[in-house]
């Protein structure tokens, strides 16, 4: 995110804010890029009180709904508490979650060749039928929160907005104004090629009628060799590959957690953006950690140690401190049931017969 502050006289002033990236906290940590709601708030809080007019330049394929809702609410709060105005300038793409942010601004203006897109929120879910039904209800609540944000801007009824979201609705500048998602066009302004191909690949599939216009928004490769429109990446195919890889990684992480006896922690690892290799490293000592906790008569602590990423030596040291404080000896023996399973069964008759044989047999 790039920031500029342009003083326009005293006491009032203006600031230009550029959001040219994905939106969302978990995306930022997983893909190593993105605009977070915390970063947005931190930068706004650094602005002098004299800044009363903020121009928000948008060129984003969207991202995390919760982060976008937070940014939109920050904008509305600052309009009330600090008397600031926020003008959204859609300079290329305002898709998905980015449209939540533009709905909090007044006015919202769009470039001649800008595009807006709204759709239903989506997620990746692992679990049984009950969990899937539960997550479907959660997604409906996310959808309702998005509809509420849109109604800050558009006069459309809730039913009309939901129908548009169901169909993944794309809008050019004139349509965005017609449906009330934008107030006016930026006269004479043509969006520059500023979208990153890798970032664009994670966006929803682009309809064929808009593909050429989107290709024109993709910035050249870092080698400074301009990519012809015909050679532009197939964003839909790349996005599908990334989604498939993400699902495969999620399944692998789930299986690793099941094998380590911590299946309930798979969701935490996925939410934290961990890769299968990172989870495998985290769980390599899971069995020994669990055994150490059983020996210390503190089996319930095993999951906490594993989730927190404690090394085996750290676990042993922590358990020792706990036991010292409680004046308890560590039982290094296997639990009774495990000892029974570990020892071979004895054939008493065979042992007795062997003992009755003479020590030296005659030849």
Residue 228 sits in the same domain as residue 252: no
Q: Which residues contact 256 (CB under 8 A, 6 or more apart)?
A: 276, 279, 280, 283
To 10 degrees, what angle do helices 37-46 and 65-81 make? 20
**Is residue 134 pLDDT above 80, yes or no?**
yes
Q: Are residues 223 and 285 in the same domain?
A: no
End residue of a domain, out of 233, 268, 288: 233
Say if residue 124 is in the same domain as residue 8: yes
**Angle at Cα 7 formed by Cα 57 and Cα 93, nearest 5°?**
5
Q: Pick the residue with more confidence: 77 or 231?
A: 77
Q: What is the pLDDT of residues 67-106, one digit of tens each?
A: 999 999 999 999 999 999 999 999 888 999 999 999 999 9
Q: In sequence order, which ranges of the chain are alpha helices (DSSP H)? A: 25-31, 37-46, 65-81, 98-103, 129-150, 158-166, 173-178, 197-200, 208-215, 235-259, 266-271, 276-283, 286-295, 302-308, 312-326, 336-342, 348-356
Given 215, 233, 251, which residue is the final one in a domain? 233
12-16, 59-63, 116-120, 151-155 — which is least confidently predicted?
12-16
The reply to whether 72 and 186 lie within a common domain is yes
Shared domain check, 205 and 251: no
> Is residue 119 one of the residues assigned to a domain?
yes
As beta bridge partners, residue 115 has 93
Number of domains in the chain: 2
Q: Domain holding 52: CATH number? A: 3.90.226.10
Q: 46 and 147, same structural domain?
A: yes
My answer on whether 293 and 218 are in the same domain is: no
Query: Could you report the per-residue pLDDT of 16-60, keeping only the tens digit for each?
Result: 888 888 887 655 545 555 788 888 888 888 888 889 999 999 988
**What pLDDT, on the 0 to 100 scale, is given for residue 113?**
86
Question: In this structure, are 176 and 264 located in the same domain?
Answer: no
The answer to whether 141 and 156 are in contact (CB under 8 A) is: no
Share of the chain above pLDDT 90, in %: 29
- The reported pLDDT for the residue numbered 356 is 55
What are the angstrom distances between the C-alpha of 187 and each of 79, 84, 190, 273, 307? 26, 24, 9, 42, 54
| Mean of the per-residue pLDDT values of the chain | 77
Q: Which range marks the domain in which residue 191 is found? A: 2-233
Contacts for 27 with CB less than 8 Å, ≥ 6 apart: 33, 34, 63, 64
Q: Which of 214, 233, 252 is the last residue before a domain boundary?
A: 233
pLDDT of residue 315: 87
- 157 and 226 in a common domain: yes
Note whether 83 and 123 are same-domain residues: yes
The answer on 249 and 225 residing in a single domain is no
């Amino acid at each position: 995110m790039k920031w500029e502050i342009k003083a326009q006289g005293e006491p009032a002033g203006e600031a230009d804010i550029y959001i040219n990236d994905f939106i969302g906290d978990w995306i930022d940590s997983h893909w190593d890029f993105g605009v977070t709601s915390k970063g947005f708030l931190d930068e706004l809080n650094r602005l002098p009180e004299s800044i009363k007019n903020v121009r928000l330049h948008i060129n984003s394929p969207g991202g995390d709904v919760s982060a976008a809702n937070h940014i939109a609410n920050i904008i509305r709060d600052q309009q009330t508490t600090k008397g600031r105005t926020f003008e959204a300038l859609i300079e290329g793409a305002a898709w998905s979650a980015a449209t939540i942010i533009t709905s909090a601004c007044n006015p919202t203006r769009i470039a001649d060749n800008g595009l807006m897109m709204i759709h239903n929120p989506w997620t990746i879910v692992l679990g049984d039928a009950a969990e899937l039904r539960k997550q479907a209800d959660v997604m409906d609540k996310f959808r309702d929160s998005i509809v509420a944000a849109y109604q800050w801007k558009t006069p459309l009824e809730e039913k009309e907005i939901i129908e548009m979201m169901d169909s993944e609705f794309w809008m050019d500048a004139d349509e965005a104004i017609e449906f009330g998602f934008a107030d006016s066009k930026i006269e004479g302004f043509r969006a520059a090629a500023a979208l990153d191909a890798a970032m664009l690949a994670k966006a929803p599939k682009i309809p064929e009628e808009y593909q050429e216009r989107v290709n024109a928004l993709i910035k050249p490769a870092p080698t400074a060799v301009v990519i012809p429109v015909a050679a532009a990446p197939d964003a839909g195919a790349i996005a599908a590959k990334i989604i498939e890889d993400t699902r495969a990684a999620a399944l692998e992480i789930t299986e690793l957690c099941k094998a380590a006896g911590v299946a309930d922690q798979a969701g935490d690892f996925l939410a934290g953006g961990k890769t299968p290799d990172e989870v495998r490293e985290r769980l390599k000592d899971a069995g020994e950690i669990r055994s150490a906790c059983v020996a210390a008569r503190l089996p319930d602590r095993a999951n906490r140690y594993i989730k927190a990423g404690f090394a085996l030596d750290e676990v042993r040291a922590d358990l020792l401190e706990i036991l010292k404080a409680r004046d308890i000896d560590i039982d290094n023996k296997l639990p009774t049931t495990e000892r029974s399973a570990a020892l071979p069964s004895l054939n008493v008759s065979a042992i007795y017969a062997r003992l009755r044989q003479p020590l030296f047999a005659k030849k």
